[in-house]
């Protein structure tokens, strides 16, 4: 497959991962769970909620899927994603944030109604 610079790499990889998630027959866990988890990780990256640890976990799951899946579908499902991470490390580093999923969460604000209800200032 050939893509020009106008295509969004992350969208391409999300599309690949959704394909493999849908095509997995579900017999073996590395493929069944791995494709689901890779899909979930890419969703977090797409929403700006990814952390550095997510990139590491993608690699770990990719390795597990390649070595422990029962057939070629599971063994090859993470190849495009892992290859893209190897070829474009700067692109993926820009997708992660140090605060990850905690980004933008204001604990004081979230507890405001509760504190008011129980009389805590």
Give the footprint of ligand SF4 on this chain (CB under 6 A). 24-28, 31-32, 69-71, 73-74
Q: Return the number of the residue (52 or 76) whose C-beta is nearest ligand SF4.
A: 76
Residue showing the smallest CB distance to ligand SF4 in the complex: 74
Question: Which whole-number Å values give the CA distances from 38 to 17, 18, 82, 108, 119, in the listed order?
Answer: 7, 9, 11, 33, 44
Q: Which residue lies nearer to ligand SF4 by CB, 19 or 91?
A: 19
Whole-number Å distance between alpha carbons of 95 and 85: 11
Q: Name which of 16 and 92 has its Cβ closer to ligand SF4.
A: 16
> Nearest Cα to 15, choosing from 39, 34, 37?
39
Least Å from the CB of residue 36 to ligand SF4: 11
């Amino acid at each position: 497959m050939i893509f020009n610079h106008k295509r969004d790499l992350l969208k391409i990889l999300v599309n690949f991962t959704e394909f493999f998630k849908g095509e997995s027959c579900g017999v073996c866990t590395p493929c069944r769970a791995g494709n689901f988890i890779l899909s979930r990780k890419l969703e977090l990256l797409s929403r700006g909620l990814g952390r550095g640890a997510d990139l590491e976990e993608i690699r770990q799951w990719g390795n597990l899927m390649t070595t422990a899946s029962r057939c070629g579908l599971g063994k090859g499902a993470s190849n495009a994603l892992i290859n893209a991470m190897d070829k474009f490390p700067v692109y993926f580093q820009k997708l992660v944030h140090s605060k990850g999923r905690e980004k933008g969460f204001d604990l004081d604000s979230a507890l405001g109604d509760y504190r008011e209800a129980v009389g805590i200032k």
